[in-house]
Structure 1
Amino acid sequence: MKRSQLDLRNEPVGSLLWKMSLPSITAMLVMAFYNFVDIFWLSRLGPQTIAAVTVAFPIQMLFGGFGVGTGVGAGSFAARRFGADDAEAANRTAGQIVFLSISISAVIIVPGLIFHDAILRLFGATDEILPLSREYFIVYLFTIPFLIFMISAGNLFRAEGNPNYSMYALSTAALLGAVLDPLLIFGLGPFPGLGIGGAAWAAGISQFATCLLSLRLFRTPASSYRIRREHLAPDLPVIRAIYRVGVPSMVMNFVISIVLTFYNHILGSYGPAAVATLGIIFRVQGLIIWVLVGIGHGVMPLVGFHFGARLYRRLIDTVNTAVKYAGILTIASCAFLQVFADPLIGIFTQDPGVMAIAVPALRIFALSLPFAGANFTWISMFNGLGKGVVSMSLMLLRDVLLLIPLLILFSMQFGLAGVWAAQPAANACLFLGALYLAKREFRSFPASGVASSSDK
């Protein structure tokens, strides 16, 4: 293992989890800051612009799911291969993300350009916001190959014990995007004013720059990957191994996309202000959710490595420590949002119609956070174990069997308040199911694993 890398086998669990998670948390917070800045500038164009971007969000989740699935699958497989001292298989895995990023994007972009209006209407665009959604969506399509590669590369960096590389790459994308946003939305100096399309251009340019940086980082001496030309050719056994974990992760993103589509259609009946509220809430809660994602990014490669090395006690301690950290964060965050919902919404809009809907909506939505911390950790654990089907089943339980029915039922019974209340109810039920499965998984491990120096 390189000197710049962490000692995944022997370092104490608490500090190792912190060191693995902190770079991802930092990168995720920078990404959340970028999303904050993005919606802040777009909100200056009016609630309809926020609504138009919100309508495009489930489509982004759908297409971005290919990046998440490829990245989670590649990262999980590479971590297990490194744990088993099979570096060549990890190298082949890294090479495949280039091929997969290009080939998947080609399949998405062409039909997207042909059927853009039909796609946008399917995902909830009304006549009022369709032109703005179209303007944003068409530019977004061309960013997909960079997005898939960027997400996948970040997972591979974490899998080799180099989480700082992932932080550098994602932070580059976020900071560059935050700088370009106002320049391309409003037009400053030599930059043209592109309106809502400028936000999509800013994202695409920043993601392209991040891909170039990631390719450079793969070639540094500190990286364990040694990618050769032959690794870029399609390798079906490796691709199957990637998507054995990756497909369930994709499905999880696809299901989230479906849920957001239901939100868009239901909220669309209340007007653009209600749809814009959903977009604002996602940005505010995103500051907490992205931290949970960062913790999950730290958990997954550690679980994969410890499982591959048969260090079961360390695996369990890692997961339990992560659940504790996530729980403290989410309970405190929920309390904070209850108190400061009004000024937080005011950052994005002073429109009375949006404020009247968004402030109580944020307070209700925040009630889901205390359950979300543990849920994210346990789902990341199953991904790290290579049990993506279990992770997918948990997400399907929440979103298909619980959230969508509750969303429809609660909206019929309680109106807008019911729309917001469906999320906390579904997350609470998922918590119970995930807790049961995590405990059952722990009991399935052998009573003793391979000892490490930190365990003695």
Structure 2
Amino acid sequence: MNNKSLNMAEGPILPLLLQMSWPSIATVLVVNVYYLIDAFWLARLSSNALAALTISLPIQVILGGVGVGTGLGAGSYAARMFGAEENRKARQTAGQVFFLSAVLGALFISLGMAGPDLILTYFGATTEILPLSRRYLLTLLPGVPFLFLIMMASNLFRAEGRPHLVMYCALMTSAVSGILDPILIFGWGPFPRLGIEGAAMAAVISQISGAALAFYFLRQKSSKYQLKWHYLRPDYRIILSIYSTGFPSMIINLVLSLGMLLHNHVLGGYSNLAVATLGIVSRMSGLVMIPLYGIGHGLMPMVAFSEGANLPVRLMEAVAIAVKISFAIAMVCFLIVEAFAPAIATLFSDDMELRRLTATALRINFLILITAAPSLMWINMFIGLGQGKAAMVLLVGREILFLIPFLWLLPPWFGINGVWMAQPLANAIAFLFILYWAKRQYRMFDSLIHEKT
């Protein structure tokens, strides 16, 4: 197993960006396959079991927002410290991740156990599926601290130039869960039949396994973190630095989730087919966004390291290459969808009306790719620079100032197509603000370059 860290200070940018990005792309694919396998086995158990799993998804989105947001803050700070050769502060960041995983995990376990029925009912659990949902949630809760640790450690691995370790942890988690799911759900061999609790138990065991592997990697001699027990003592200055970037990222994830819920609400006023169409469009968009998110994940620590090392030329070159690559991928995907939208729609359903709605929705909604690709790279640039507040203002502003009003204003004029138009239009307007802010940052880099020369 190669644990050598990538050198982010020297060498060609493009190969480094690809080396930083592809493990993230593979990781997202693995995680998506894991979710599909989980849904597959529970669907074979019963439709109510699958519904109970679906009810828990918003809770998992919230957990993901907290874990990923904290991890982004920790990764950005650690990469900047490595770049500035403040290695002790970077190593202490790894210790804070363990502390934060434990504290946040305990907080969410307490909240979940205090009022599971209230939480699940709020997210849509009916009287029929509430008992199943409760059993799933209560069994799942002990794994939350380990889930947080995996999410946060993943960003630490990227920060030290070992993104392949993120993929190994994801593979471990998914493989353990994939093996245990049918065994514990249906009681294969000597194991008892646990039903939906078996799926939750498989998830907890897999999260413990992934967290243990992450701990092993951080303790290796080849790791830049050289984790020591005294690094686990809370350092509130480092924690504040983590959340100066991480907290805005958490808000971004939560607001984006709110936008998804609002889409569901608006489309529910048309028909169940309209909601089903959104599900298809979301899955197709998610598939296309995997490489774009992967490139963004690879770019962020490169920006942070270059910022810490005072290498503005290298930083700007990395961002420029990431923007070009992501835009090329987005354009290819956009053109394919525009040309083959009806054929793509046939893959998901035999219902002619659903096919028609899906083809139209794909063609309109995928216009978002043209502006989303460069916007995503610039947002990751801001996060890498530790400017989490700027990223939050730009993305939350898009949702609140543009998307929500468009979802209210466009449907009366354009019907259901107005719903599909809302996101591309909101993103196009937000793109102009993100571009302005990115150019403003570029001018600051130019000033630094002139000062150095």
Alignment partner, residue 214 of structure 1: 214
In structure 2, the residue corresponding to 1:445 is in which secondary structure? helix
Greater shift, 262-271 or 245-254, is seen at: 262-271
Deviation at 1:51, TM superposition (A): 6.4
Q: Is the 8 A contact 2:220 2:226 kept in 1?
A: no
- Hey, what's the Cα distance between the residues in 2 that align with 1:206 and 1:255? 29
Specify the code of the residue in structure 2 equivalent to 1:302. M
CA offset digits 1:333-377 (Å, max 9, x no partner)? 233344555666666666788667555444443332232221221
Deviation at 1:384, TM superposition (A): 0.4
1:386 to 1:281, Cα distance in 2 relative to 1, 3 A:
same
- Hey, what's the Cα distance between the residues in 1 that align with 2:188 and 2:346? 26
1:139 to 1:320, Cα distance in 2 relative to 1, 3 A:
farther
Deviation at 1:276, TM superposition (A): 5.1
TM-score, normalised to structure 2's length? Answer: 0.87
1:380 to 1:287, Cα distance in 2 relative to 1, 3 A:
same
Deviation at 1:258, TM superposition (A): 1.9
1:271 to 1:122, Cα distance in 2 relative to 1, 3 A:
farther
- Hey, what's the Cα distance between the residues in 2 that align with 1:400 and 1:195? 41
- Hey, what's the Cα distance between the residues in 1 that align with 2:130 and 2:365? 27
Specify the code of the residue in structure 1 equivalent to 2:91. N
Deviation at 1:233, TM superposition (A): 1.7
Greater shift, 52-61 or 345-354, is seen at: 345-354
1:131 to 1:281, Cα distance in 2 relative to 1, 3 A:
farther
Q: Is the 8 A contact 1:312 1:449 kept in 2?
A: yes
Alignment partner, residue 419 of structure 1: 419
Alignment partner, residue 373 of structure 2: 373
Greater shift, 82-91 or 110-119, is seen at: 110-119
Q: Is the 8 A contact 1:219 1:226 kept in 2?
A: yes
Identity of aligned residues (%): 45
Deviation at 1:172, TM superposition (A): 2.4
Greater shift, 431-440 or 412-421, is seen at: 412-421
- Hey, what's the Cα distance between the residues in 1 that align with 2:197 and 2:24? 29
Q: Is the 8 A contact 2:85 2:309 kept in 1?
A: no
Alignment partner, residue 389 of structure 1: 389
1:223 paired with 2:194, answer no
Q: Which has the higher contact order (CA 8 A, sep 6+)?
A: 1
Greater shift, 169-178 or 309-318, is seen at: 169-178
Specify the code of the residue in structure 2 equivalent to 1:92. Q
Alignment partner, residue 254 of structure 2: 254
1:327 paired with 2:327, answer yes
Alignment partner, residue 312 of structure 1: 312
Deviation at 1:307, TM superposition (A): 0.8
In structure 2, the residue corresponding to 1:143 is in which secondary structure? helix
Unaligned runs of 5+ in 2: none
Greater shift, 130-139 or 76-85, is seen at: 130-139
Alignment partner, residue 237 of structure 2: 237
Deviation at 1:389, TM superposition (A): 0.4
Alignment partner, residue 144 of structure 2: 144
1:172 paired with 2:181, answer no
- Hey, what's the Cα distance between the residues in 2 that align with 1:295 and 1:17? 7
- Hey, what's the Cα distance between the residues in 1 that align with 2:179 and 2:285? 22
Alignment partner, residue 404 of structure 2: 404
Specify the code of the residue in structure 1 equivalent to 2:80. R
1:158 paired with 2:158, answer yes
In structure 2, the residue corresponding to 1:66 is in which secondary structure? helix
Q: Is the 8 A contact 1:310 1:449 kept in 2?
A: no
Q: What's the Cα RMSD here?
A: 3.4
Q: Is the 8 A contact 2:249 2:388 kept in 1?
A: yes
1:201 to 1:436, Cα distance in 2 relative to 1, 3 A:
farther
- Hey, what's the Cα distance between the residues in 1 that align with 2:84 and 2:248? 24
- Hey, what's the Cα distance between the residues in 1 that align with 2:388 and 2:248? 5
Specify the code of the residue in structure 2 equivalent to 1:288. V
1:6 paired with 2:39, answer no
Greater shift, 79-88 or 120-129, is seen at: 120-129
What does 1:438-453 correspond to in 2, within 5 Å?
438-447=438-447, 449=449
- Hey, what's the Cα distance between the residues in 1 that align with 2:314 and 2:84? 16
Deviation at 1:33, TM superposition (A): 3.1
1:90 paired with 2:90, answer yes
What does 1:350-369 correspond to in 2, within 5 Å?
358=358, 360-369=360-369
Q: Is the 8 A contact 1:123 1:265 kept in 2?
A: no
What does 1:72-151 correspond to in 2, within 5 Å?
72-124=72-124, 134=134, 136-151=136-151
- Hey, what's the Cα distance between the residues in 2 that align with 1:403 and 1:416? 15
Unaligned runs of 5+ in 1: none
1:275 to 1:177, Cα distance in 2 relative to 1, 3 A:
farther
Deviation at 1:406, TM superposition (A): 2.1
Deviation at 1:147, TM superposition (A): 1.9
Alignment partner, residue 292 of structure 1: 292
- Hey, what's the Cα distance between the residues in 2 that align with 1:352 and 1:138? 41
- Hey, what's the Cα distance between the residues in 2 that align with 1:293 and 1:242? 21
- Hey, what's the Cα distance between the residues in 2 that align with 1:364 and 1:407? 14
Deviation at 1:71, TM superposition (A): 0.2
Q: Is the 8 A contact 2:342 2:356 kept in 1?
A: no
Deviation at 1:244, TM superposition (A): 0.9
1:54 to 1:333, Cα distance in 2 relative to 1, 3 A:
farther
Count of aligned positions? 451
Greater shift, 239-248 or 12-21, is seen at: 12-21
Greater shift, 421-430 or 323-332, is seen at: 421-430
1:366 to 1:36, Cα distance in 2 relative to 1, 3 A:
farther
Specify the code of the residue in structure 2 equivalent to 1:394. L
CA offset digits 1:377-414 (Å, max 9, x no partner)? 11110000000001111111222222222223345555
Q: Is the 8 A contact 1:32 1:287 kept in 2?
A: no
1:178 to 1:358, Cα distance in 2 relative to 1, 3 A:
farther
TM-score, normalised to structure 1's length? Answer: 0.86
